[in-house]
Structure 1
Amino acid sequence: MGCDGGTIPKRHELVKGPKKVEKVDKDAELVAQWNYCSLSQEILRRPIVACELGRLYNKDAVIEFLLDKSSGKALKAASHIKSIKNVTELKLSDNPAWEGDRGNTKGDKHDDLQRARFICPVVGLEMNGRHRFCFLRCCGCVFSERALKEIKADVCHTCGAAFQEDDVIVLNGTKEDVEVLKRCMEERRLRAKLGKKTKKSKATETVSKPDVPEDSAGPSTIKTRKPEEIVPDSREKKPSAAPKSAATDGSASGKAGKPPCGAPKRTIADSEESEAYKSLFTTHSSAKRSKEESAHWVTHTSYCF
C-alpha cells in the first residue's frame, strides 16, 4: 500500500466522489454584467442601449442580431427584442477618475475593479454593480436608485422630461426585478396591440360610412328608395296629370284640328279646312291621277304636275 518514500495515500485520493459545484466569483460576475455586452460579450462602447428587462447591449450588436434573424440564431439574452424600438439608448455620465487601460499599460499596477466608467450625475455613485442603478425609458437618462429616492420628482433630473413609475427600469436587477419587468413589458405590448386594433377599426368605419351633409340628404333618399315605395307616388300623381293632358289635348285639337281623346278619327278631307290647305296632302282629289297620266319613273307621291 505504500508509495515511494513510504507515503500512505488517503481515502479521498483513491476514491472519486461527486464533483464540487464551482461557485461563481461575484466580483467577476459584476464586471461582466456592467462592462460587457450581454449579446456579443464584447466591451461596452457607445452607443450603449438597454432593453425593457434592464440588460446592457452595444447598439451595433442589437442591429446585427435583428438583421440576422433569418439564420435562426435566437439567443436567450435578446429573444424578447423584436425591433429596435424595444431598446432605449442610454445617456451616461463619464467618471472623471476612471483612466481605463492607460493606467496599467506595463502591468505593474493594481486594477481596481470597483472603479467604473460611468457615475450617477446626481449623487456621484459609481456604476460598478455595488449600487442599484436605473434608467428612464422615456428619455434614456441613467441615475442611481438612491438619487430617485432622495430627490423625489415627476421630472427627469437631467433633461426635465416628465416620467411615470412605469418608465423606471432597473439595470441588471435581481431575478425578482426581472420577473416584475417582464410582466410590465408584456402588459405594455398588449396595450399597444389593442390600441392599434381600435385605430384600425375606427379607420375602416370612417371609410365605409362617410359623413353625409344635410344638404345632400334629400336627393340621396330619393335615389335609394325602393321600387315598391315609388309606385304608390306615381299612382297618386296620375289623376292630377289627367286633367292637364285633357286640357292640353283640347287646346291642341282646337288649334290643329285634332279630335279629343276617345273621339273617332277624321281625315283631312272631312275636316272644315279650306280647299287650298287640303290640296297640300296626297289624300286630296287633285293629287290623284290615273296610271296613264303618271310615268313609270314618277312615284305616286310626286308633286310634279
Structure 2
Amino acid sequence: MGCDGGTIPKRHELVKGPRKVEKVDKNAELIAQWYYCTLSQEQLRRPIVACELGRLYNKDAIIEFLLDKSSDKSPVQAASYIKSIKNVTELNLADNPAWNGDKGNTKGDKYDDIQCARFICPVVGLEMNGRHRFCFLRNCGCVFSERALKEIKTEVCHRCGVPFQEEDVIILNGNKEDVEVLKKRMENRRLKSKVGKKSKKCKSAELVSQQDITEDSPGPSEVKTAKGDMNTNFGERKQIVFTKSTANGSSSTSGKVSKVLAGTTKRSIADREEKSEAYKSIFTSHSSAKRSKEESSNWITHTAYYF
C-alpha cells in the first residue's frame, strides 16, 4: 500500500499563505477621476464644473440630470446631493501648452503620453493629472495647485483678484478626510442659506403689513389740511348765509345765526353747557349779544357783518 497509483492533493496543500486581494491600478483610477466625467463617464470637455465635494463633471451632463424628472430615473450617488445648477461651480482652467489633444495620435503610430494633462496651474505650472493636489475657489471658479496657495499666501485670487476665505477653497478629488470636511461645510452652508431665506421672508411680510397700515391711516399733514379745509368752508358758509340774511332784510338775525352754527358745527348741547361764560359770550347766541327791536338800527345801516 505504498500509494503507487499517486494521490490527489488537497486545497490547503496547494495554496500557500493568505489569498491576495486584487489591487486597483492607480493610473487607471487617476485617469478616471481627472479625465472623465463622474456622472456620464464621458471625457471631460469645456464647460467643466465641480461640485461642493470636489468632483468633476461636464456641465451638459449635470443639466440633463437635473432636467430628467422621470420616475424611472436611476439613483446616482455621485450627484444625489446636487439639487440645482447653483450647487456646482464652473471652473476657470488654464490650458497646458504641451498638450496636443487627440489629433496627435490619429494613426496609432505615436506614443500617447497619458500623464500629460490638458490643464495646468497658472501660478506654479504643475500639471493637473492627479499626481499633485489641486483646488478651486467657489467665488470665482479659478483652479490652482495647493502648493501655489501655500507658497503665496494671500486672501485674493491670484488670477482674477476676487477675495476669498478658507471655507471657499475646495480640494479637487480629495481623499476621504477631505470629503468629510467638505460635507460638513456644505451642510452648514445650506443651513445658513435656509435660515437667511426664512428671515428675509419674515422681514418682507412685516414691511408689507407696515405699508398697508400707513396707507390706511392718514398722516399728520393730511389731518391738518383736512382741518384747515373744514375751517375755511365753515367761514365761507357763515359769510354767505349772513349776506343772504341781510339782503332779505330780516330782523331776526340771532335765530338764523344759531341755525347756521347748528348746521355747520357738530357740537352737542352738553358740550356747550360745559363751556365757561366767557367762551359763550363770543357767540351771537349768547344773551349778552341779543338786542331788542328798539336798539336795532334801520335796515339801511345793515352790513354783511351786522349781527
Q: Calculate the TM-score normalised by the size of structure 2.
A: 0.67
**Alignment-mate amino acid for residue 22 of structure 2:** E
Change (3 A) 1:60 1:12: farther
Aligned to 2:190: 189
1:237 aligns with 2:271: yes
Is the 8 Å Cα contact of residues 117 and 128 (structure 2) preserved in structure 1? yes
- CA drift of 1:186 comes to 0.7
| SS state at 1:123 partner | coil
- CA drift of 1:44 comes to 0.3
Distance in 1 between the 2:271 and 2:90 partners? 78
| SS state at 2:158 partner | coil
Q: Structure 1 regions of 5+ residues with no counterpart? A: 220-232, 256-305
Cα-to-partner distance string for 1:192-221 (whole Å, 9 max, x where unaligned): 1111111111111111123758625968xx
Note the 1:59-138 alignment, pairs <5 A: 59-71=59-71, 72-138=73-139
Aligned to 2:285, which of 247, 250, 255? 247
Is the 8 Å Cα contact of residues 2 and 9 (structure 1) preserved in structure 2? no
Aligned to 1:299: none
Distance in 2 between the 1:2 and 1:118 partners? 69
Which segment drifts farther, 141-150 or 92-101? 92-101
Q: Structure 2 regions of 5+ residues with no counterpart? A: 225-266, 294-307
Task: Number of aligned residue pairs: give it.
Answer: 240
Distance in 2 between the 1:127 and 1:7 partners? 59
Aligned to 1:37: 37
1:50 aligns with 2:50: yes
Aligned to 2:220: 215
Change (3 A) 1:52 1:12: same
Change (3 A) 1:2 1:132: farther
- CA drift of 1:73 comes to 3.0
Distance in 1 between the 2:76 and 2:95 partners? 30
Distance in 2 between the 1:52 and 1:110 partners? 36
Structure with greater helix share of residues = 2
Aligned to 1:206: 207
- CA drift of 1:105 comes to 2.6
- CA drift of 1:98 comes to 1.2
Is the 8 Å Cα contact of residues 48 and 91 (structure 2) preserved in structure 1? yes
Distance in 1 between the 2:291 and 2:182 partners? 97
Change (3 A) 1:103 1:246: closer
Is the 8 Å Cα contact of residues 51 and 89 (structure 2) preserved in structure 1? yes
| RMSD of equivalent CA atoms | 3.6
- CA drift of 1:112 comes to 2.3
Is the 8 Å Cα contact of residues 66 and 82 (structure 1) preserved in structure 2? yes
Q: Calculate the TM-score normalised by the size of structure 1.
A: 0.68
- CA drift of 1:114 comes to 1.5
- CA drift of 1:103 comes to 2.9
Aligned to 2:174: 173
